[in-house]
Amino acid sequence: MAFRDTSSKIIIKTIEQIEGIRASSILASQALKEIEPFVKPGASTEYLNSICAQFIKDNGAIAATLGYHGYPKETCISVNDVICHGIPGKYELRDGDIVNIDVTTILKGYFGDTSKMYLVGEVPEHAQKLVKTTKECLNIGIQQCIEGNSLNNIGYYINKHAVANGYSTVYEFCGHGVGIKFHEEPEICHIAEKGTGPLLKPGMIFTIEPMINAGKARSKVDRKDGWTARTIDGKLSAQFEHTICITKGEPYVLTDIEHAYPIPTDIF
């Protein structure tokens, strides 16, 4: 099958750019950590957004989503059947909700993009399993981020794991190159054909952000707000996102602040 060769448009970042993107990525991840104690029953998504917005501002950065193609808020907050691009608003979290918060920062001109799931109060086991499997899907995708590997192996193995657990993979929203701009080449599909796409090279930076659905894969965008993407069948959806830099060795997860990565000196 023919595919579009976009490898020539993929920016190979310099060490200086990688360091800048890393700093922005750390800040975005810290916002997700900062917000954690506030994600409780009764908290409105607007309130959670305002805390993240303040944190980003206090650290000398800009929230990349605000005004992006007219998007009105500093974060995306997607609850239950919302796949992505949920607009923070009056909705108050309830016991049993699962919620994704997605933060994109611009620090000194560099973009960092990450999201994770939060469990609100007591969450039913089937929802917990979806969240756990989605995190595994992201990690499986990251394991494919090895120099010389085909880009689409990321999506191939992500979808394989989702299907093995009885879930489906959203194909209408993808990961993306990131760092100098919000959305750069290449597109990272989370369901893809094995062995296709450009080959991974050191200095490439992109997100992996699988959206995994409990039911059907299809999404529908809210007609009124033009953003909120929901599952077509009303079933749950989960998502995790990291920003990854390809190196000549192990993948460098720029938005991971849990494991204290040193800046690899051997990226190239």
Residues that bind ligand MF3 (CB under 6 A): 65, 68-69, 71, 76, 85, 102, 104, 113, 207, 209, 227, 241
Least CB distance from residue 192 to Co ion, whole Å? 17
Q: Which is nearer to ligand MF3, 13 or 242 (CB)?
A: 242
Q: Which is nearer to Co ion, 17 or 207 (CB)?
A: 207
Q: Tell me if 46 sits within 8 A of 92, measured CB to CB.
A: no
Residue 171 contact among Co ion, ligand MF3, none, beta carbon within 5 to 8 Å by kind? none
Region of 24-32, 141-149, 151-159, 240-248 interacting with Co ion (CB under 5 A)? 240-248
- Give yes or no for residue 113 binding Co ion (CB under 5 A): yes
CA distances from 61 to 24, 36, 109, 112, 113 (A): 8, 20, 9, 10, 13
- Give yes or no for residue 100 binding Co ion (CB under 5 A): no
- Give yes or no for residue 102 binding Co ion (CB under 5 A): yes
Sign of CA dihedral 133, 98, 26, 19: positive
Region of 16-24, 109-117, 221-229, 257-265 interacting with Co ion (CB under 5 A)? 109-117
52 vs 218: CA distance, rounded Å: 30
Give the single-character DSSP code of 12: P
Count how many residues are written for the chain.
Answer: 268
Residue 45 CB partners (closer than 8 Å, separation 6+): 77, 79, 86, 88, 89, 90, 91, 93, 99
- Give yes or no for residue 184 binding Co ion (CB under 5 A): no
Q: Which is nearer to ligand MF3, 207 or 231 (CB)?
A: 207
Q: Which is nearer to ligand MF3, 123 or 191 (CB)?
A: 191
Q: Which is nearer to ligand MF3, 94 or 181 (CB)?
A: 181
Task: Name the phi and psi angles at 116, rounded to 5.
Answer: -150, 170
H helix runs in the chain, sequence order:
15-35, 45-58, 125-143, 153-164
* Interacting positions 186-215 with Co ion (CB under 5 A): 207
Amino acid identity of residue 251, one-letter, is P
How far is Cα of residue 198 from the mean position of the Cα atoms in its chain? 21
Site map (CB under 5 A) of Co ion, residues 46-75, x = contact: ------------------------------
Site of interaction with Co ion (CB under 5 A): 102, 113, 115, 207, 241
